[in-house]
Structures are given as structure tokens and as C-alpha cells.
Amino acid sequence: MNIQVESMAIEMPEVRNHPNREHFKGILTQVDVPSDKAPAGARGHRVLLVRAAAEAALASLIGMGLDYAPSLDRHDVQRKIGVITRADIVGRNLEVGGYLFARDFKAVVDEIRNSPRLVLGMSYEIADAQVADPRADVWVLTRVTFTGAALLRRDKAAYRNTWIELED
């Protein structure tokens, strides 16, 4: 088996027991795999993010915010609960990590801590997307710029294989 890994990260200064940093990790999306359902903004089309586009856009994900809506069923780009500091493509998974603002959003951190991995997921936010054929049933994304990500229930995410958890 041949596994390919692409990785990008920024190193944050270590501050022991920082009250507002809770490290997280998870699967943001999959590459070269059609979404399970149409994401918001795709006009009812399922999407497929090609590996080359994800690799080229990996750097744009670093430093972007993780947001949430209290109902956990949509994106809310004006409610940032954390920041992404690491992004890796491992196999078909685009893995991310970073930290949540634990003191500012204690209830959200507690929800992640107390939810089984199968309940919560993530979804990416993009701009400048190029679609190979806008008439196709599945939009093949050949170029994107990541602008952030959202925490939501997995049943509301376009990709149901996403997840998020707190790191030890």
C-alpha cells in the first residue's frame, strides 16, 4: 500500500496550562471522494475536491478560524471558536488540528469533550473555487482557497466521515 502525506503547520509558542487554549484534531474533509450531500453554496450539487487542489490550497487553511452556530447545523463565520494551526493530507483524509478558545467557549468545548466521535464533524469554507464542469451532477473542484472551517453535527456536514475531538 502506498500512502502519501502532505503537511503544513505553524508552531504556536507553548504556554503551559493556558486557560484559553484547548487543542483539537479531526478530519475536515476527504479528497478525491464525492461528498455525501451537497454543501451550502454548491447549488444542490455534491462536490469532489481533487487532491491536487487540496494540496495547492493547504497553506491557505493555516491560521483560519473554526466557527460554529449554537444549533450545530450550519456555518456561522462571525462566531470563531478556534484557529487551525495544522493541516495534513493523509491518504484521502484532510486532517486538521489547532486550538479552541476554551475559556471563551467553555460550553462548546464541553460539548466536544462529552460527545462521541460519531456525533460531531466539520465542514470546510472556501472561496475562489474552480469547477471543472458546472453542469455535472458532482462538481469537481480543481482549485480552491480555504477561508475557514465549521464545527457541526456530522449529519449536517456534506462529508459524513468528518469528526473532531480534543487532543490529550
For each of the chain's 168 residues, which pLDDT tens digit applies?
665 555 656 677 787 888 999 999 999 999 999 999 999 889 999 999 999 999 999 999 999 999 999 999 999 999 999 999 999 999 999 999 999 999 999 999 999 999 988 899 999 999 999 999 999 999 999 999 999 999 999 999 999 999 999 997
Longest alpha-carbon distance in the chain: 52
**Alpha helix segments (H runs only) across the chain:** 51-61, 106-114
Q: Which residues contact 30 (CB under 8 A, 6 or more apart)?
A: 49, 92, 93, 94, 159, 161
Q: If phi over 0 gives left and psi between -120 and 50 gives alpha, with beta otherwise, what is residue 63?
A: left
The alpha-carbon radius of gyration of the chain (Å, integer) is 15
Domain boundaries, the chain: 20-166
Please identify which residue in the block is written with the cell numbers 483524509: 93
Q: What is the pTM of this model?
A: 0.91
In the prediction, which pLDDT does 47 show?
Answer: 98
Contact in structure between 156 and 122 (CB atoms under 8 Å)? no
Contact in structure between 139 and 45 (CB atoms under 8 Å)? yes
Determine the Cα–Cα distance for residues 113 and 100; give it in Å rounded to an integer.
12
In the prediction, which pLDDT does 18 show?
Answer: 87
